[in-house]
Amino acid sequence: MVTEEFPDSFADVLGGVQRLIRRRLRAGMTEPRLRGAQVELLRLVMAHPGIRVSAAAKELYLAGNSVSTLVNQLVKAGYLHRETDPEDRRSARLTVTPAAEARLREWRARRGALVREQVAKLSESERAALAAAVPALRKLAENLHEEVEGI
C-alpha cells in the first residue's frame, strides 16, 4: 500500500543502499578513492568515447568548468586522455585509458558479487519483489532523466 510517507522512505532507502554498497566496496580498495562525479564521468566517456567536454557537462547536468576540473583530475590520475578535436581546435575529445577501463571493470565485478551475495540472503518472496520492482525503477530513472532534460 502506498502511503504519503512512501516517496520519502523510498528515496531514503535507495540512497542508503547506494551509500552502503560504495562503503563496502571502498573497504577493499588499495587505489585512491574516486569521487562519485569522477566515476560518473569515466562511465560516460567509456560509453561515449570521443565525447566533448561540453557534451559531457550537458549529459551529467554539471557546469562546464566543473567537468573541466574533473577532466584535469582524471587526466592527472591517468584515467582519461584529452585530445584536441580535429574538427574544432577549441574543443577537447575524451577517451578513457586502459587503467580506467580495468578499474571500472573491477568495480562492476566486485559490486555485482556483493549485491548477488546480499540478495541471496533474502527470502524467495523478497527476491521476487526486488526483481518485480526493476522495471518500475527503470521507468522512474527514465522519468527523472526526461524531466531534467526539459529544464
pTM: 0.76
How many H helices and E strands in the chain? 6, 3
96-116 residue pLDDT tens: 999 999 999 998 999 999 999
**pLDDT, tens digit (0-9, with 9 covering 90-100), for 20-44:** 998 888 887 788 888 889 999 999 9
Residues 6+ apart with CB under 8 A from 63: 57
